[in-house]
Structure 1
Amino acid sequence: MARRVLLLLSGFVAVWAVQGVFMDRLASKKLCADAECVYTISLAQAQEDYHAPDCRFINVSKGQQIYVYSKLVKENATGEFWAGSVYGDSQDEMGIVGYFPSNLVEEQRVYQEATKEVPTTDIDFFCE
């Protein structure tokens, strides 16, 4: 079921029509460093390869660096996922944001503790 998302920017009106799909939520809450979930929590390194099962997730190669932005609150036995951005050797790999299993990585450096519990929204699981 594809839906269109319209974005309005304050100060002037800019409208983009984005074709995409709202996927099932992986959790109803997430932990962030701040209430808006904009600050980086930590830098992690992948301990093994991971192949994304769908567009909510990111592909990760062993040894790759990932900036962690939020940590989903575990609600069931499906495991815990974190949201992050892949930092790779090529420019194509930078800025790709998505979920990955938390047991896939080892945190290398914690910038700020993830202490703010924030509800997830449909946009958290939107796929283009």
Structure 2
Amino acid sequence: MIAKGIFMDKLASKKLCADQECLYAISLARAEDDYNAPDCRFINVRKGQLIYVYSKLVQERGSAEFWAGSVYAEQYEDQMGTVGYFPRNLVTEQHIYQEANETVSTKAIDFFCE
């Protein structure tokens, strides 16, 4: 079986994480509005939904600020566990689990769409 997909443009060259693999949640945030994902790099978010934040892209000149996370809410079970990007200004952090002190280079796989 051959995997088919497309590499998308990078949103940033670096991201801030709690660990080098960006496996551990940095914080829990609540969506202040709905967001419809423009492509597979992003996640759909509904107002009031909780999101586990795993990384924060380092904003580059002229670009929007995006975070990566996974939604958590029973009424949106189809997206639980799916990690994708969303605009930082969409959410309010509710609880910080740990500081995002690790600067990690983004990889091509971070921006791959199937």
The two structures share one fold, judged by TM-score above 0.5: yes
Q: CA deviation at 1:95?
A: 1.1
What secondary structure, in the 3-state scheme, does the structure 2 residue paired with 1:124 have? helix
5+ long unaligned stretches in structure 2: none
Equivalent in the alignment of 2:93: 107
Greater relative contact order (CA < 8 Å, ≥ 6 in sequence): 2
Q: Quick check: 1:120 aligned with 2:106?
A: yes
Measured in 2, the distance between the counterparts of 1:60 and 1:74 equals 21
Q: CA deviation at 1:42?
A: 0.5
Equivalent in the alignment of 1:80: 65
What secondary structure, in the 3-state scheme, does the structure 2 residue paired with 1:55 have? coil
5+ long unaligned stretches in structure 1: 1-15
Q: CA deviation at 1:40?
A: 0.6
Q: CA deviation at 1:20?
A: 1.5
Equivalent in the alignment of 1:42: 27
Q: CA deviation at 1:80?
A: 0.6
Q: CA deviation at 1:76?
A: 1.9
Q: Quick check: 1:22 aligned with 2:22?
A: no
Q: Quick check: 1:97 aligned with 2:83?
A: yes
Letter in 2 for 1:111: Y
The percent identity for this pair of structures is 68
Letter in 2 for 1:42: S
TM-score scaled by length of structure 1? 0.84
Which of structures 1 and 2 has the bigger CA Rg?
1
What secondary structure, in the 3-state scheme, does the structure 1 residue paired with 2:3 have? strand
Measured in 2, the distance between the counterparts of 1:53 and 1:112 equals 30
Measured in 2, the distance between the counterparts of 1:17 and 1:109 equals 41
Equivalent in the alignment of 1:7: none
Measured in 2, the distance between the counterparts of 1:78 and 1:30 equals 14
